[in-house]
Each structure stands twice: as structure tokens, then as C-alpha cells.
Amino acid sequence: MNLKSTFHKMWPLYLLVIMMWLKTYIVYKTSFDIKIESWMQELILFINPLSFLLFFLGITLLVKEKSRIPLLFVLGSIASFILFANVGYYRFFNDFLTIPVLFQTSNMSDLGNSATELIQFSDLFIFADLMILGAVLAFAKKKNNMSITQPLLKRDKSAYVLLAVIISIVNLGLAEAERPQLLTRTFDREMLVKNIGTYNFHIYDIILQSKSSAQRAFADGSEFVEIENYLKANVRQPNEELFGVARDKNIIIISMESLQNFVIGETIDGEEITPFLNDFIEESYYFDNFYHQTGQGKTSDSEFLLENSLYPLGRGAVFFTHGTNEYQATPEIISDYGYYSSVMHANNKSFWNRDIMYQSLGYDRFFEINDYTVTEENSIGWGLKDKDFFEQSIEHLKSQPEPYYTKFITLTNHFPFELGEEDKMVNEYTSNSRTLNRYFPTVRYMDESIKHFIQRLKDEGIYEKSIIILYGDHYGISENHNKAMAQFLGKDEITPFDSIQLQKVPLIVHIPGQEGSTISRVSGQIDLKPTILNLMGISTQNQVQFGADLFSSNKFPFTVLRDGSFITSEYVYTANTCYEKSTGEAIDVAACEPYMDKAKRELELSDKIVYGDLLRFYNGNDYLGEEVLKQEEN
């Protein structure tokens, strides 16, 4: 075989493969925070783009000679755009794109400044190899060196395919040796990208999407037996003193956009960041060990957790992928007890597919952007400012029949955290992160907005006959800003343990007339539904739910995050490392092993419910949670 002749005919293909290979590796190291723990992991990361690119760009060998170069540019552009899209998405979400996220096209029109903030001039580098190839081809054509248009022999193609197969086998072999059962860890996208590469990850993601789509078609009620048995074993009694304390009272829930717990009680230049919440906590039940458990669906995932006590999906947003499923959601349940339910959110009704999903959840009314007066003066960033939103919502609230269950979703404290000078009540922070710097003024603005809203509830006579629940929906500052976050927290660095602690969000349950207290039991958003229903005096024994009453004295102190990390009263497990919760020190992973199966199983069982739409087969009367309660009492 004349290798020199073969390369001479195929040099544009080899040139683009090599350039895209090196480019992808450089992007891995500069744009993604992929943690490397050994030289073997570094080697795998280095070679994994090559296994895909050889096959993908090798498709050009299947077409006629005159079509090879145009197709090469098309395929190169597709691969480059995939890389570019992942870089932009990762810059804020610290995650990789999945097929369900790409289907969320109705969100794109509302991204506005958030999207432009994520694109940088340096991103043009991602397409530089295509420009270089174009220039080299133009030069070759000028020199009449266009041997690439010559026919390829069968042996030329065979040699190329053999090379691609060998590289792929080596890549997969090393990946499997480094991380056994790699492809079963679908919730850990970083691990998948680190071992099989971002391009192969998307192929695998397509396979998963096809599999999940088929799961519903072949599901039947028998699959519920395992889930039911697991839930029975985890039933917990509610707090007897607080059970029914909110019966026939209005339930007002405020979803506080991007609010993390680390700002509570903190100051900027001597000024409190959350002065109202700090005071409100003193007269409320405050859960200071409460974690968000959202995935790629962010705010919509927090809503899903709140209403269903099921976990969101590891890929995409449930609101989009399974918006027409049958659910056993709080709004539908409380309708049987005379409650009117609504959501107030000054955004397009189709954003996160809310107009469809809210019907599936059983909401009576959705007050969306067309129910508000939005002008250039009273809006910024993602839309209506929080103060105006709450003020205009008062009339909507008064128009509803009582008792009602109403959820408010704020907007102003949303990335990219824009705020006019007239609304800033604390200074921006000073660090290398523009995002973190601007975060504090928008948090302070939201705090002031909630203060005014609570006062308006008092003025209108609504406050005394309502239970008010405030919770943070998800993180606002991703791990991409760890250097600045370490500076703010006075740490040398942000460790994986610290990153988990930064997933804490505030939860405040305010019951007028009660003093409240701080409760430090480990908990998460999945516990909201059973807690609220028990406060309303509605039994949750027959509910399909993975959470437990936050006020229950025998609640198991355990919270699992969507990426498989988990927290107990003693340990934190994340990134394959076990930490002692009290010190943050890494310890023998054996200490965390007793909880690993529980974390994995809960996520898998919840996914099975959603993917299979299993609640369509469920009859609440079949769930005998009462038997477990009686056993506990005895």
C-alpha cells in the first residue's frame, strides 16, 4: 500500500481531522471545567475527540470526488457548531447540552441578553480551522495541486476505516478500564464527556432520547409494584402539632429566582444584602440546610419538585419532555378540598411550556405577561421588575375565591443580573466575575420587593389569613465563578464539597402568630409538597412522593441532587468522593457507601414514573401507606 499516495489524495480530510481534534482538546481545557485526576484520564480526554471525528468526517469518502470538499465543510461546520453551542451553554449552566434542551425552542425568543452575555469574541476560534482549510485549499488550487479530486482506491478507504476503528476501540477500552459501567451513569454528563468525548456524548444522548420515548409506549401498571414497595418503606408521620395549621388558609408561595443561601445574613460594604429576609427569618420557620435539586430545567424543575415531590429528569426539562403526563400534583389534589389554585408570573405563557404543563398539574388559572402592564420603564432584563410584578399581582390575588393556593415566580434576580442605577441599594462586588459582582444588587432589589409585597398583604387584610412560603429555586452563581466566590467567602479555593454547600437555597415558612425557629435537618425541594399538604391538613399517606414532611421529627436526614451527589447529616458525597460534613475533609468512600444505592434508586424510580407516565395506571386507594404508619406507631 502506497501510504504517501493515499495521504496525497486525502490530505484535506486528514488536515481537518487533526485541526478539529486539537481544537476540541483546547476547548476542553479552556472552556470546560473537566476535573482530571490522573494521567490516564488526561490521555482519554486527549484522544476521545479523534474517535468521533475520524468516522464523522470520513463520511466524505462515501461520495463522489467532486462532492468531497463541499461535504467536508458542511460536516466540519456541524461539528464546530456543536462545540460552540456547548461552550455557550456551559458558560452559565456548567453543564453540557442534551437533545431535550435543544427541543426547548419556545424559550429561545425570551433569552435576550442572557444569550449574548454567554457569547465571547474568542469563540470565533472554534471556526478557525475551517477558515484555515479554506485558505490552504485556495492556495493548492492556485498551484494546480488538486490531487484530492482523484478517485480513491478501495484500499485507501479501508486503511482510513481501519485507523478509525482502532482509535475507537482504544478510546472505549481505556474509558471502560478507567470507569467501569460508564454508560450506566447517564446522570453524570461530565464523566461521559471526559471519557467518550462531547461529540460521542451527543450520539449517546440521541440513543437515550429514543429509548426514553419508547419507554412510555411499552409501560404498564406492573412497573409500579417496585416503586410502591419502596415508597411504603419510607413513609413518615407528619408533625402532629402543625398538621392542619393552615387548614382553610390561603397558601402563598414565592419562588425566589436564583437565590442561594450564602447571601443570607451577609453584607456588601457594610450594607445587608437581604435585610428583610434576615428579619423575616426571625419570625418564621427557617430551614438552613435546604438544597435545590434541579437539573437542566432550572426554575421549571423547582416547580416540578414543589408540585409533585418527584425528581426532575437528568436530561432536559420535564415541563417540555413530559408536559402532558398524568400527575398527582398539589393543585389537583387540593381542588377536592375547596382550594383555588393559580400561578402569577410576568413572562410568556409558553416559556418552559408552562401553558401546557400547568394544565397537567391541575392549576385553575395562570396569570402571565398579558395579564400585566409591562412598559420600558417598569421592566429590565427578563421582563417586569419584581416590585411592579408584586404590586400588580395584588389585584389578581384579590380577584380569586378563597381559600387559594397561589405561586409567584420572580424575575429580576435572573442572569445576567441587570439593574438600573436607580434601583441599586447595595454596591456591586469587586472581583474577576462580572456575574457575581452584579448578583448582589439584584438580590437586594428582590429582597426589597418582597418586603413591599408582604406589607401590601397586610394592608389588604390578606396576611393574617395566609401561610407564606418563600424558597430559592436554583443556584444563581455557577461553578464557573469559583475563583470570585472563593474571594467573597474568604476561602483559598472552592472545593467540590464547597460546591455542594453552595447548592443550599433559603426556605422560609411563615405562619402568622407563630414565633418559628431555625431547623437544620438536611432537606430539599422534594420535601415541599408533603410539608405543605400536611400543613393544610391533607393526608399524604396515599401520595406517590419521594419527599417527607420537613417538620416531621423522624424525617430521614438525606437529600440527593439530580447529578447523583447526596447529603446526609454526617456526610456529603460528590464527584466520587466522600466528605465529612462537619469538617469538609475527604474521607474513606466506604462511609458513604450505605447511602449510594438509595440515592441511585430514588433517581431511577422517579425517572421510571416520568418516562413511563406510570401515574396514569395508579389508583391512590391501592397505596397502603397507612399500614406502615401503624407499624411505626406500634
Give pLDDT tens digits for 158-209. 888 888 899 888 888 888 787 766 665 555 677 788 888 888 888 887 877 7
Phi, psi of 556 (to 5 degrees): -70, 125
With contact defined as beta carbons under 8 Å apart, do 577 and 596 qualify?
A: no
Q: Which residues 6+ apart lie within 8 Å of 314 measured at CB?
A: 186, 187, 295, 562, 563, 603, 607
Q: Cα(9)–Cα(11) distance, rounded to whole angstroms?
A: 6
Give the model's pLDDT for residue 584.
95
Q: Cα(320)–Cα(98) distance, rounded to whole angstroms?
A: 13
pLDDT tens column, 290-342: 999 999 889 999 999 999 999 999 888 888 888 889 999 999 999 999 999 99
Provide the residue ranges of all domains of the chain, joining segments of one domain with +: 3-215, 241-552
pLDDT tens column, 483-502: 999 999 999 999 999 999 99
- CB-CB neighbours of 88 under 10 Å: 18
Could you tell me which residue, 319 or 104, shows the higher pLDDT?
A: 319
Give the model's pLDDT for residue 117.
60
Which grid coordinates belong to 67?
462532492
pLDDT for 127 beyond 50: yes
ω into 403 cis (within 30 of 0): yes
What sign does the dihedral 626-622-301-487 (CA atoms) show? positive
pLDDT-wise least confident of 255-269, 389-403, 452-466, 605-619: 605-619
pLDDT tens column, 413-431: 998 899 999 999 999 999 9
pLDDT-wise least confident of 45-54, 152-161, 518-527: 152-161
Question: Does an H or E element contain 518, and which?
Answer: strand 518-519
Burial (CB count within 10 angstroms: exposed 0-12, middle 13-18, buried 19+), residue 561: buried
pLDDT for 456 beyond 90: yes
* Active site positions, annotated: 299
Give the model's pLDDT for residue 182.
67
Name which of 303, 304, 259, 323 is nearest 508 in CA terms: 259
Mean pLDDT of the chain: 87
**Average pLDDT, stretch 602-610?**
94
pLDDT tens column, 12-44: 888 999 999 999 999 998 888 787 878 888 888
Give the model's pLDDT for residue 430.
95
Q: Cα(53)–Cα(79) distance, rounded to whole angstroms?
A: 8
With contact defined as beta carbons under 8 Å apart, do 382 and 369 qualify?
A: no
Q: Cα(517)–Cα(496) distance, rounded to whole angstroms?
A: 30
Could you tell me which residue, 481 or 106, shows the higher pLDDT?
A: 481
Give the model's pLDDT for residue 223.
81
Q: Cα(149)–Cα(157) distance, rounded to whole angstroms?
A: 14
pLDDT for 64 beyond 80: yes
Could you tell me which residue, 121 or 481, shows the higher pLDDT?
A: 481
Q: Cα(355)–Cα(363) distance, rounded to whole angstroms?
A: 10
Q: How long, in residues, is the chain?
A: 634
With contact defined as beta carbons under 8 Å apart, do 297 and 541 qualify?
A: no
Fold (CATH) for 241-552: Alkaline Phosphatase, subunit A (3.40.720)
Name which of 73, 70, 66 is nearest 146 in CA terms: 66
Could you tell me which residue, 617 or 455, shows the higher pLDDT?
A: 455
